[in-house]
Amino acid sequence: MTSLPLHLILFIAAGAILVLAPLLIGLFVRPDLPTAEKTAVYECGEPTIGSSYIQFDIRFYVVALLFIIFDVEVAFFFPWATVFGGATQLADVRLSEPARQNLTDKLLNLDPGTTTPQTAISAADALGLAQIGLADILVFFGVLLVGFAYVWYRGDLDWVRAMVKRAKTATPRFRAPPVTEPVPAREMVS
């Protein structure tokens, strides 16, 4: 049986070869014919206009940071779902003893067959674990919702804050004339 460090060294060597081989082949094979046009600076295939040192709008960064924060927080739901699912299965009193031992091994990351009937998680303990897990995720999700409400309240989710603020406080500039019923054509003639 081979060892883990050998596999790791082989994986790193293979990755380095796959990255460096095309670069080295390109270095030796491609022609080197520089011209003024080839060495000119360009941006996306277009000639540059003005300075390349411009200030980006902060909204791009805010939206990117909000996405990363909420995306990472949602990723924490997956390990919780694994533990909560195992605990709720173990909380079933109708579960057979071999199935209880198997689920205990999986929940505690033990080798299969390690748990004995005396060391298996009981239904009452599993129910308590499931209730604590549910309370934990409700607190976590509550904090997540409070953060989302705060960001929404501050207006960080509005793309153009000034226009949204103006639209909320704006009063109509003119009043439309009242609508009257049209006068029939016969009355206008006489």
Query: pLDDT per residue over 85-113, tens digit each?
Result: 889 988 888 989 999 999 899 888 889 88
* Per-residue pLDDT, 144: 86
- Residues 43, 52 contacting (CB under 8 angstroms): yes
Residue bearing the bigger pLDDT, 167 or 141: 141
In the numeric block, which tokens belong to residue 78? 């997956």
In the numeric block, which tokens belong to residue 79? 């390990």
In the numeric block, which tokens belong to residue 170? 């704006």
* Per-residue pLDDT, 171: 62
Task: Tell me whether residue 90 is exposed, middle or buried, using C-beta atoms within 10 angstroms of its C-beta: 0 to 12, 13 to 18, 19 or more.
Answer: buried
Residues 82, 86, 92, CA angle at the centre, nearest 5°? 150
Q: 100: how many CB neighbours lie within 10 A of its CB? A: 20
β-sheet bridge partners, residue 46 = 43
Residue bearing the bigger pLDDT, 53 or 84: 84
pLDDT tops 70 at residue 174:
no
Across 122-137, average pLDDT = 91
Q: 27: how many CB neighbours lie within 10 A of its CB? A: 9
Residue 179 is classified by DSSP as P
- For the segment 22-34, what is each residue's pLDDT rounded down to a tens digit? 999 999 998 888 8
Helix, coil or strand: residue 33:
coil
Q: What are phi and psi of 151, to 5 degrees?
A: -65, -40
pLDDT band at 16 (very low <50, low <70, confident <90, very high): very high
- For the segment 130-161, what is each residue's pLDDT rounded down to a tens digit? 999 999 999 998 988 898 888 888 877 777 66
* Per-residue pLDDT, 47: 65
pTM of the model: 0.52
Q: 74: how many CB neighbours lie within 10 A of its CB? A: 11
β-sheet bridge partners, residue 43 = 46
In the numeric block, which tokens belong to residue 1? 């049986």
User: How far apart, in Å, are the Cα atoms of 44 and each of 41, 47, 48, 56?
Assistant: 10, 8, 9, 17
What distance, in Å, lies between the first and last C-alpha atoms of the chain?
Answer: 112
- For the segment 61-71, what is each residue's pLDDT rounded down to a tens digit? 878 888 888 88
Residue bearing the bigger pLDDT, 138 or 49: 138
Helix, coil or strand: residue 178:
coil
**Nearest C-alpha neighbor of 151 from the set 63, 60, 61, 57:** 63
* Per-residue pLDDT, 38: 79
